[in-house]
Amino acid sequence: MPDSKNLNEHSVHYLNPMVDLSKIKRVVFDMDGTIYKGGTLFPFTKNVFETLEQIGVDYTFLTNNSSKSAKDYLKKILDLGLKATPDNISTSATATFFYLKQHYPDVKKVYVLGTASLREEFTDHGYEMIDEYNEKDEPELVVVAFDTTLTYDRLCKGTYWVGQGKPYIATHPDTVCPTDKATILVDCGAVQALIADVTKRRPEAVPGKPDAAMIGGIMDKYGLKPDEVMMVGDRIYTDMEMARRAKVPAVLVLTGEATLETLKESGLTPELVLDDISVLRDLLVAAKTKK
């Protein structure tokens, strides 16, 4: 990967000269590992979004983490001191609802291996949870998500229904969720691997990142072209791969999972590789000032 000679070489590791940053109208930000880690906001984050507002660049908060509902994420963003409305939030559950409406419009009763918050969001979207205490009550479809309240009984029950051949969707592929605590947060992808080991089945669809439709829906919503949107994240196999599939500029930041070494091993080349989102702020300000 070539070294960038733009700005500070210690903060800009690569910058594709073909990218016209002056065209960017909306920046789509991954959340955990990009604007905060765990429950801690990066010290530069608030100023980044204040500056974007000043230069007329809109933004969307995007996350694969389906352990919380979109309402919960909005509250978290606001509690962290950032500005947001429901329109600014998009999760892998959002993408999953869209997939289900397209491919399973008549399904109403589901088994959701997810948190109470996510199950409530499914209910808000018109779905019915099965009665887990009634063995005769069967789901029409199984959804596996990131369940931070996962119990052995519910894991067994969800695996059973997958093994019975029920249609099976997972919200996203991440195996580990970033955290600022001394632990490993086992994520949705790891649960999928366990279920596959038992049932020999993988989900028929995983609508979250890196599925291009997740960012494509944002472009459709705001009438934007691929060169007017930018995807920013810390993960290569979800954030950067989704940007590649959607053909939008990709910005990798090194505040989360990815390192320069793992990027080199991946074979992917994002349009920008930066230390953190404050560097992107400076690049966008420079580009917009020159317009």
- Residue range(s) defining the domain that contains residue 194: 94-199
Query: Per-residue pLDDT for 262 more than 60?
Result: yes
pLDDT at 180: 73
**pLDDT of amino acid 4:** 38
State the pTM of this model.
0.81
pLDDT tens by residue, 77-111:
999 999 999 999 999 998 899 899 989 999 999 99
Q: Has residue 83 been placed in a domain?
A: no
Concatenating the DSSP letter of every residue in 171-211 gives: S---SEE--SSSS-EE-HHHHHHHHHHHHS---SB--STT-
Same domain for 121 and 41 = no
Asked whether residue 270 is domain-assigned, the answer is yes
Domain identity same for 143 and 225: no
Domain boundary among 178, 199, 220: 199
Place of tokens 């995007």: 62
The CA dihedral of 246, 218, 211, 55, to the nearest 10 degrees, is 60
Does 86 reside within a domain?
Answer: no
- With respect to residue 7, please indicate whether it lies within any of the assigned structural domains: no
Q: Residues 179, 252: one domain?
A: no
In the chain, the number of structural domains is: 2
Residue 80 inside a domain? The answer is no
Query: What is the reported pLDDT for 291?
Result: 60
Q: Which of 199, 226, 241 is the last residue of a domain?
A: 199
Instruction: Tell me whether residue 174 is in a domain.
Output: yes
